[in-house]
Chain A
Amino acid sequence: MDIQGIHSILLERFGESVVGSQTFKAIDPWIQVSAASIVEVCTFLRDDSRFLFNHLNDLCGVDYLEPDAKKAAKFGHEPHVEVVYHLSSLKQRHQLKLKVVVPRWKHNVEGQLPVVPSLSAVFGIANWHEREAYDLMGIHFEGHPNLRRILCPEDWIGHPMRKDYAFPLEYHGVRGR
Chain B
Amino acid sequence: MSLQIEDPRIVEFDVQTDEMLVNMGPQHPSTHGVLRLLLRTDGEIVHECTPHIGYLHRCAEKIGENLSPPQYIPYTDRMDYLAAMNMNLGFALAVEKLIGMEVPEKAVHLRVLIAEIGRIASHLVGMGTYGLDLGTFSPFLYAFREREIILDLFEEVCGARLTYSYITIGGATHDLPDEIEMPDGLASLIGKHKGERLPFLDVIEIFLQWLELRIREYHTLLTRNMIFISRTAGLGILSPELAVSYGCTGPVLRGSGVDFDLRRDGEAIYTRMYKGYDFEVPVAPFKEAPREVVVGDNWCRFYVRMMEVVQAIRLVRQAIPKYKAATGSYREPFKMNTKLPKDEVYLETEAPRGQMGFYVVGNGEGNPLRLRAKSSCFCNVSVTDQICQGVPLADIPAIVGSLDIVMGEIDR
Contact = CB atoms under 8 A, between A and B. Distances in A.
Given A58-B359, A60-B372, A151-B54, A160 B345 contact: no
Contacts of B364: 74, 76
A26 B343 contact: yes
B247 A123 contact: yes
Interface string A128-165: 10001000100000000000011111000000110000
A57 B374 CA distance: 8
A56 B247 contact: yes
Interface in A23-70: 26-28, 54-58, 60, 62-64
B359 A86 contact: yes
Contacts, number: 88
A63 B22 CA distance: 39
Interface size bucket, A side?
A: 35 or more
Contacts of A151: 53-54, 57, 411-412
A86 to B, nearest CB: 5
A72 interface: no
A125 B345 CA distance: 21
Contact of B345 (A27, A58, A63): A27
A86 B357 contact: yes
Interface stretch (B5-13, B77-85, B107-115, B378-386): B378-386
B242 A124 contact: yes
A136 B61 contact: yes
A54 to B, nearest CB: 5
A21 B260 CA distance: 32
Interface of B: 53-54, 57, 59, 61-62, 97-98, 242, 244-247, 258, 260, 265, 267, 342-346, 348, 355, 357, 359, 361, 363-364, 369-370, 372, 374, 378-379, 382-383, 386, 411-412
Q: Which 4 A-B pairs have the closest CB atoms?
A: A125-B247, A124-B245, A124-B246, A151-B54
15 contacts: A26-B343, A28-B345, A57-B348, A58-B346, A64-B369, A76-B342, A84-B359, A90-B258, A95-B267, A123-B245, A123-B247, A125-B246, A128-B379, A151-B53, A151-B54
